């Protein structure tokens, strides 16, 4: 759990004091090289487990709907469209197309591998989803790593991060989350009191969790990423000035895979 006595965050001292930590081995150039070698399809995005896609999307959809509904309305009431959301580390747009476009008017895509975003735009053109009355549209397509992306201030109802934050070291992740915090739509006092879904915003993190017996993070040399523990995530969220408003383990995945947890975050 996050410790109340954690010192103020200092990125330079953090890097110096954790030079032997797993995240110190992250090499973003090596990570990009790995992902550029991966096929632009669901099998490539999910590491050879394409059968988990539907389970993943159902879990994410239920989690997001619960956040948006809050204490307002009946479960079957239709929720209003979110104005603008971001899919970060979007890959070929599996989450963009299946989760976010159905609930948002505009979905901005942030993904460093251009061949993946090219595949997304090509698939949208073929499927005609840009013209669908029931779905939103892809807005900006940003080919940057998350360590280099700064969200437009006050722009987003949801900033969705899934299976991508392991490519940032701890200091970069805290800095990134702080920028995301500034990128959220600022709710009016009335929406905070009434818990009105259309006026509330969240950062969502959905990531693998380390199974290390001592709770240590695990470095993966193949794609130069780190799998963090739940305790580490909670500490980093606190350092970024964020609080967890909801969290849930994804169910239904094969038992030989890492556990996956969803976190909904709001500014402290």
Helix H segments across the chain? 11-17, 28-36, 42-45, 52-69, 94-95, 114-127, 170-183, 189-194, 230-239
Neighbour-count burial for 45-63, b at 16+ CB within 10 Å, e otherwise = bbeebeebbeebeebbeeb
84 among annotated binding-site residues: no
Q: Take residue 266 and report the two structure tokens written for it.
A: 């709001």
**Residue among 111, 61, 103 nearest 85 (CA):** 103
147 among annotated binding-site residues: yes
162 among annotated binding-site residues: yes
89 among annotated binding-site residues: yes
DSSP character string of 6-71: PPPP-HHHHHHHTTTSGGGG--HHHHHHHHHTS-SSHHHHTTT-TTHHHHHHHHHHHHHHHHHHTT
Distance CA 50, CA 114 (A): 21
146 among annotated binding-site residues: yes
Binding positions are: 89, 94, 146-147, 162
Binding positions for S-adenosyl-L-methionine are: 89, 94, 146-147, 162
């Amino acid at each position: 759990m996050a410790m109340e006595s954690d010192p103020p965050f200092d990125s330079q001292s953090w890097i110096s004091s954790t030079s032997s930590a797993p995240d110190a081995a992250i090499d973003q150039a090596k990570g990009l090289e790995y992902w550029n070698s991966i096929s632009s399809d669901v099998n490539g995005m999910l590491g050879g487990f394409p059968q988990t896609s539907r389970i993943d999307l159902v879990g994410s959809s239920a989690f997001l709907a619960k956040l948006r509904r809050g204490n307002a309305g009946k479960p079957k009431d239709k929720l209003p469209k979110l104005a603008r959301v971001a899919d970060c580390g979007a890959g070929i747009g599996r989450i963009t197309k299946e989760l976010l476009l159905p609930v948002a008017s505009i979905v901005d895509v942030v993904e460093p591998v251009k061949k993946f975003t090219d595949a997304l735009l090509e698939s949208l053109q073929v499927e005609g989803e840009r013209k669908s009355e029931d779905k939103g549209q892809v807005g900006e397509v940003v080919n940057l790593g998350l360590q280099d992306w700064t969200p437009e201030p006050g722009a987003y109802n949801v900033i969705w991060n899934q299976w991508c934050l392991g490519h940032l070291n701890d200091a970069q992740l805290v800095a990134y989350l702080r920028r995301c915090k500034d990128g959220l739509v600022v709710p009016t006092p009335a929406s905070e009191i009434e818990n009105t879904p259309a006026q509330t915003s969240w950062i969502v993190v959905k990531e693998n969790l380390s199974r290390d017996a001592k709770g240590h993070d695990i470095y993966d040399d193949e794609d130069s990423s780190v799998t963090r523990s739940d305790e580490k995530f909670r500490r980093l969220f606190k350092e970024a000035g964020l609080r967890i408003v909801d969290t849930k383990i994804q169910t239904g995945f094969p038992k030989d895979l890492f556990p996956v947890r969803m976190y909904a975050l709001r500014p402290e």
